[in-house]
């Protein structure tokens, strides 16, 4: 059984590939090795995977229409998991075209590949960012998400709509996963927790937005992967998206979040305790595109696949700090 994992050199893609290979599946991984963050870290993740039986890697940018079409002509995948994306809310204010190329054009190319060589199930990464400043908490997949406040969020909402369209037109089973602030070992250096550990270790100040009053549903990477794998094996049955809609489509959305929002200041306190150092905090106002809270309703995930993320931040951050100090030679 072969699974196509896009963004395989990325944080979530690497961990998913490692898990699938350990489970005895073949993984065909593609990535464009974007320089959005340290390419050496992506190469190091790939080195971990290259030594494992059943892994194949191809350097490919999903925005390459012909390249993606060729990929699906040459291979028939049982499952496709799309984790390739231009990530980051703040960066979307600086380089919007990167989000259109990767998240819109790239995703259309992938959908077209699945249209002509359909897998059993296409699973794709969405984001909690689609909820914007949703006044209702916890966030449920049935909530209105028509008011994104960053281009990144808008592209993820677009992915959900595009996938629904292909599900409707071609009966392609699609499931979108709204990830909530994923963190953990081999993580992304542009994420706050990674920056915090790096700065505190080196005695530099950290920027604390919204004066530390933001709350995030921090979700440990192992929980995210468990959710992805369980969902992957459960293609959605054709169903109506709402009571108003009579057309039945094999399409589903899930939140994958810890269901326990943590205030940013407490999150920093846990890191300080793990490092045995106090942070120099540079308190700043809320940044454009940011939201004050994310909070996942995961009842559907629990009901359908029997899983609920629950790793406490104290446990997850301890694992990350241990990895960070080993990887960067500070342990």
- Which residues are marked as active site? 152
Write out the two tokens for 89.
């809310």
Tokens of 325: 């100090």
Phi, psi of 291 (to 5 degrees): -120, 150
**What is the spatial distance between Cα 77 and Cα 58, in angstroms, rounded to a whole number?**
15
CA distance 320 to 186: 8
Residue that the structure tokens 């200041």 belong to: 265
């Amino acid at each position: 059984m072969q699974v196509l994992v896009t963004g395989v050199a990325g944080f979530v893609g690497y961990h998913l590939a490692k898990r699938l290979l350990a489970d005895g599946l073949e993984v065909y991984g593609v990535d464009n090795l974007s320089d959005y963050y340290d390419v050496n870290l992506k190469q190091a993740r790939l080195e971990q995977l290259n030594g494992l039986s059943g892994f194949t890697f191809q350097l490919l940018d999903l925005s390459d229409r012909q390249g993606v079409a060729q990929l699906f002509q040459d291979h028939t995948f049982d499952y496709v998991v799309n984790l390739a994306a231009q990530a980051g809310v703040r960066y979307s204010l600086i380089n919007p075209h990167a989000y259109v190329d990767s998240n819109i054009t790239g995703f259309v190319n992938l959908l077209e590949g699945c249209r002509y060589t359909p897998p059993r199930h296409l699973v794709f990464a969405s984001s909690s960012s689609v909820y914007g400043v949703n006044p209702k908490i916890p966030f449920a997949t049935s909530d209105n998400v028509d008011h994104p406040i960053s281009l990144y969020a808008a592209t993820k909402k677009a992915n959900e709509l595009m996938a629904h369209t292909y599900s409707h037109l071609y009966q392609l089973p699609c499931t979108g996963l709204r990830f909530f602030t994923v963190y953990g070992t081999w993580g992304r250096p542009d994420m706050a927790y990674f920056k915090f550990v790096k700065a505190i270790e080196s005695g530099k100040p950290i920027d604390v937005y919204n004066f530390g009053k933001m709350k995030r549903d921090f979700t440990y990477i192992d929980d995210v992967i468990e959710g992805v794998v369980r969902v992957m094996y459960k293609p959605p049955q054709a169903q109506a998206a709402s009571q108003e809609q009579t057309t039945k489509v094999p399409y589903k959305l899930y939140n994958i979040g810890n269901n326990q929002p943590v205030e940013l200041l407490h999150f920093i306190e846990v890191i300080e305790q793990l490092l045995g150092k106090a942070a120099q905090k540079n308190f700043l106002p809320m940044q454009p595109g940011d939201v004050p809270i994310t909070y996942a309703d995961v009842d559907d995930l629990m009901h359908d696949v029997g899983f609920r993320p629950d790793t406490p931040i104290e446990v997850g951050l301890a694992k990350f700090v241990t990895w960070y100090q080993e990887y960067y030679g500070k342990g």
